[in-house]
Amino acid sequence: MTSSDERLRAADPLRAAVFAELKRQKSQPQPEATEDRARTLGTFVEVSLDNQGISRKGFARMLDIERELADAILDGNFPLSEIDDEFLAQIAQVIQHPPNILRVMAGRSITPTLKEAPAGTVPATQSGQEQSQDRQ
């Protein structure tokens, strides 16, 4: 018997223990990703507000929402499915961060901004006529 055969046999109990632990972990219920995302988003927004000296009450006032709704968002207890993209963009504006950061945290697809727009595309603020004048 070679030394590599001996190492394989010695590793078998360890390997079995590792696979048993993996199987045990897989069988345990996993927290729903959307709950984690809501908490992550809420924490990020709250830290951003704290950095700017904005209170929860001020946050609610700036978004023209009830304080209870603001608390639920910041505590990560408000379902992300109930926050539409426009509202997410308003939150981003209040905390002075790009909306795409919040979209990523919420598990949504990002929207190209003017800086990120693919080459050859026309920004929404520029008409085709203005674009053709720019090329001349």
pLDDT tens digits, residue range 96-134? 999 999 999 999 988 876 654 444 444 444 444 444 444
Decide if 41 is inside a domain: yes
CATH of the domain at 88: 1.10.260.40
Domain limits for position 41: 33-105
The model's pLDDT over 45-86, given as tens digits with 9 standing for 90+, comes to 999 999 999 999 999 999 999 999 999 999 999 999 999 999
Print the SS3 string covering 17-68.
HHHHHHHHHHHCCCCCHHHHHHHHHHHHHHHHHHHHCCCHHHHHHHHCCCHH
Decide if 39 is inside a domain: yes
Decide if 131 is inside a domain: no
- pTM of the entire structure? 0.60
Q: How many domains does the chain divide into? A: 1
